[in-house]
Amino acid sequence: MKKESGGLFEKLLETQQIFKNREYLRPTYIPDNLPHREEQIDQLARIWVAPLRGETPSNVFVYGKAGTGKTATVKYLMNELEKTGDEVSRKIEVIHLNCEVVNTKYRILATLANELRGKIQEKDPDAEDLPDQVPMTGWPTDQVYSVLLEILELEEQIVIILLDEIDKLISKGADDVLYVLTRINSDLANTKTAVVGISNDLNFVPQLDPRVVSSLGEEEVLFPPYNAPQIEDILKKRAEMSFEEGVLDDAVIRLCAAHAARGHGDARQALDLLRNAGELAEQERATKVTTKHVTKAFHKVERDKMEEAIRTLPEQSKLVLLSALLLQERKARKIGTGDVYDVYSALCRQNGLEVLTRRRVSGLISELDMMGVLNARVISKGRYGRTKEIELNVESIQARAAIEDEMYVKDLNSITSSKQEKLG
């Protein structure tokens, strides 16, 4: 066994390597140079030079579609800001929170307090007079706020609170914390704070309380989508660091850039696509990455994105989609909204769940259509009104697996059996 195992690894080590370092293609990597974002970098630098002069920085709202370099640019500039602060003896702390994860008023205030407390302890393990760490549940919110103020006032400093995916606070009903954070300076003497919000939702600000809008929107910076030549340029630079010399066919980068440009200029998608293509070539033990690998990788990435979208659907939307999938599996020639509603109602009743109205279910079908999970074409039935004819854009087995991984639905077989005659 040892000899066979050794032979196996020796054989793998002898195959030509595709990657030098694939980490440069991952979204977590922040490059030292951010091409095609010079204008946005200059705008933000002009705003954030204020704390280096000892002035209170403005609150900033940074927005643009996914993959336009918002978070990478902000993190890059924040790193530079902290380093320059050390050089000019200005204490600047940046606290980065992802509102997809930390998404309640209590948790945001508690996390801020604990992060700042941890930074003090890291620099001075014997620091005295530090308040206790805030638990993630259990305290009154005003007590958590008091502890946060106490920690902020321990040192003279400027604290920048970076809220990534800030729009998630609205969907979680936690946007009231923004009012607190944008007004916190009035309760501080030694420390000054600023809020930086990053969002993919261009319509986020109008949904906020007008009092928050006036504070959060002091400065706004828009990140437009990249075009195909810009994405191609970004990919070339990363490819040089990531791949062994000569392993990429000439058309590979161009094809990755074209796919991403069609998908609203998402550079992150282009980098994922290039990395996936390289990994497929690696699995096949190919000596080169070709457009064939890019095409395969594109279908895989799209399938993975669709599965993730299905997993994160609300429960009622999952039930509506599952109803359409069950109908499709029973070879229904044409799936109408009435058919979907019948199966959906049966699923809800058998699982003890609320049955929504036909109108609401029709709205959920429209939302699934907008996501690209299905196509819902409106068909006129003359004096009998209109209906939606539904066609699924997802593979049944994978979509059902994604739904059933997230929720348990009982008695599926009995539902499909009872509908067999109708669907024939």
217 is an annotated ligand-binding site residue: no
Per-residue model confidence (pLDDT) at position 423:
44
Instruction: Give the residue among 380, 369, 318 at the shortest CA–CA distance from 344.
Output: 318
68 is an annotated ligand-binding site residue: yes
Per-residue model confidence (pLDDT) at position 8:
63
CA distances (Å), origin 220, targets 61, 278, 344: 5, 38, 44
Per-residue model confidence (pLDDT) at position 424:
45
Per-residue model confidence (pLDDT) at position 372:
82
- Alpha-carbon gap, residue 35 to 234, rounded angstroms: 7
Other residues' Cβ atoms within 10 Å of the Cβ of residue 209 = 13
Per-residue model confidence (pLDDT) at position 1:
46
Structure tokens at 271: 């980098």
45 is an annotated ligand-binding site residue: no
Instruction: Give the residue among 149, 81, 91 at the shortest CA–CA distance from 119.
Output: 91
Per-residue model confidence (pLDDT) at position 189:
93
70 is an annotated ligand-binding site residue: yes
238 is an annotated ligand-binding site residue: yes
Per-residue pLDDT reduced to its tens digit, 127-170:
778 888 999 999 999 999 999 999 999 989 999 999 999 988 88
Contact by Cβ (8 Å): 95, 74: no
Contact by Cβ (8 Å): 223, 199: no
Letter for the amino acid at 149? L
Distance of CA 315 to the CA centre of its chain: 20
90 is an annotated ligand-binding site residue: no
Q: For residue 41, with 0-12 CB atoms within 10 Å meaning exposed, 13-18 middle and 19 or more buried, which class applies?
A: middle
Q: Which pTM does this prediction carry? A: 0.74
Per-residue model confidence (pLDDT) at position 383:
65
212-237 as b/e: b if 16+ CB within 10 A: beebbbebebebebbebebbbbbbee
- Alpha-carbon gap, residue 287 to 245, rounded angstroms: 11
Question: Which parts of the chain sit beneath pLDDT 70?
Answer: 1-16, 217, 331-333, 380-385, 410-424
* CB contact set of 273 (below 8 Å; sequence gap of 6+): 256, 259, 260, 294, 297, 298, 301
Domains, the chain? 37-222 (3.40.50.300), 226-310 (1.10.8.60), 313-423 (1.10.10.10)
- Alpha-carbon gap, residue 419 to 328, rounded angstroms: 12
